[in-house]
């Protein structure tokens, strides 16, 4: 198929993607109360080949959300409970000695739980940095190296990690290098009164987490969606706006806002730009457009960039977080466009 044919068929492909998203949300709502926005952001990351860090207090249904999504997408799912004594081999796997029929012995690689399609790293910050780093190569290159041998993961490998923002005793903060590997950092909100009431009714009938959901997508369809989204054109104006935003998160940039220069030690990386553009492509599709706008960037810049800023101690003293600083930088830039 030539380039002109692919461009001509693009609107039809994007319409199908939008319908797929609607079906996924419909199935998701059968089991999960609220959190539709969280689902959309998780799907944006999946369709862009990225990974997600979910932050929220215990009991908000983060694990159930991920498990439900894996069922709807018909993908293999594994969960790892991260603890201080978890070792890298518990994630990636290791070589074991096996004996053949003739009595000879040889090494065989025993695959770890990372060899799946959707991986949930529960309470990732409770494991040591050495164990956390076992995920770096898997997240970046979709492969793991054990004893000098490289083993490929599935093309749709999608890692989601959770962490508790309030119980920090005995935890190991994720290093910046690993945080930067996450496409999004999502804050799971506490349910509203109406949502709590609906959760209570569902749980009261002893059916929470047991309601059946239909399978909407498949592994091959997800790969098709990724390819179609990459064909969505992006104008120079959108690229320039996104690039300007990334540079304005750096305190040494002349046009950086004063609060960025005061509170930020290191700004967002180029990975942040890539994530922002990729997520905005999905937003444009959901809005029924085949072109990106600055509104699409506005919808995605916080989850794409909030975990990529390194703040100084002044930010802690004055209780300033990344979201506040990013909102200032975005609005300051928006006034010039």
Q: 54 pLDDT exceeds 60?
A: yes
Residue bearing the bigger pLDDT, 173 or 303: 303
| Spatial CA neighbour of 79 closest among 92, 90, 63 | 63
User: For residue range 193-226, what is the model confidence (pLDDT) as tens digits?
Assistant: 988 888 888 766 555 557 788 999 999 999 999 9
* Other CB atoms within 10 Å distance of the CB of residue 77: 18
pTM: 0.89
Q: 100 pLDDT exceeds 90?
A: no
Q: 168 pLDDT exceeds 70?
A: no
User: For residue range 231-240, what is the model confidence (pLDDT) as tens digits?
Assistant: 898 999 999 9
- Percent above pLDDT 70 for the chain: 93
Q: In the CATH hierarchy, which fold is given to the domain comprising 11-88+114-227?
A: Rossmann fold (3.40.50)
Query: CA-CA distance, 330 to 333, in Å (whole number)?
Result: 5
Identify the CATH homologous superfamily for domain 232-337: Magnesium chelatase subunit I, C-Terminal domain (1.10.8.80)
Q: Residues 269, 307: contact at Cβ < 8 Å?
A: no
Residue bearing the bigger pLDDT, 288 or 205: 288
Residue with tokens 């050495």: 130
pLDDT value of residue 170: 65
User: For residue range 140-155, what is the model confidence (pLDDT) as tens digits?
Assistant: 889 998 887 888 999 9
Q: For the chain, where do the domains classified as CATH 1.10.8.80 start and end?
A: 232-337
Residue bearing the bigger pLDDT, 100 or 317: 317
Q: For the chain, where do the domains classified as CATH 3.40.50.300 start and end?
A: 11-88+114-227
Q: 318 pLDDT exceeds 60?
A: yes
| Spatial CA neighbour of 51 closest among 153, 192, 130 | 153
Phi then psi dihedrals of residue 131, to 5 deg: -75, -40
């Amino acid at each position: 198929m030539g380039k002109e044919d692919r461009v001509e068929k693009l609107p039809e492909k994007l319409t199908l993607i939008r319908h797929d998203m609607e079906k996924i949300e419909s199935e998701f709502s059968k089991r999960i109360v609220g959190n539709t926005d969280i689902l959309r952001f998780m799907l944006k990351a999946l369709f862009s080949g990225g990974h997600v860090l979910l932050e929220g207090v215990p009991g908000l249904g983060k694990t159930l959300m991920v498990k439900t999504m894996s069922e709807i997408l018909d993908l293999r799912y594994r969960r790892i409970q991260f603890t201080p004594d978890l070792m890298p081999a518990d994630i990636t796997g290791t070589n074991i000695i096996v004996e053949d029929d003739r009595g000879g012995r040889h090494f065989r690689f025993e695959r770890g739980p990372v060899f799946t399609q959707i991986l949930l790293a529960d309470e990732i910050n409770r494991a040591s940095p050495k164990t956390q780093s076992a995920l770096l190569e898997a997240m970046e290159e979709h492969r793991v190296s054990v004893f000098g041998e490289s083993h490929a993961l599935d093309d749709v490998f999608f890692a989601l990690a959770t962490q508790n923002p309030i119980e920090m005793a005995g935890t190991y903060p994720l290093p910046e290098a690993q945080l930067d590997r996450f496409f999004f950092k999502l804050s799971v909100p506490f349910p509203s009164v109406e949502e709590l009431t609906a959760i209570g009714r569902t749980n009261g009938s002893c059916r929470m987490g047991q309601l059946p959901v239909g399978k909407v997508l498949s592994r091959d369809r997800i790969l098709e969606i990724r390819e179609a989204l990459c064909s969505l054109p992006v104008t120079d104006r959108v690229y320039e706006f996104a690039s300007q935003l990334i540079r304005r998160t750096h305190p040494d940039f002349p046009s950086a806002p004063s609060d960025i220069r005061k509170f930020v030690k290191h700004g967002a990386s180029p990975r942040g730009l890539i994530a922002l553009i990729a997520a905005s492509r999905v937003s444009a599709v959901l809005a029924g457009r085949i072109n990106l706008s600055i509104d699409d960037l506005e919808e995605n810049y916080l989850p794409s960039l909030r975990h990529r800023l390194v703040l100084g101690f002044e930010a802690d003293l004055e209780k300033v977080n990344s979201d506040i600083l990013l909102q200032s930088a975005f609005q300051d830039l928006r006034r010039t466009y």
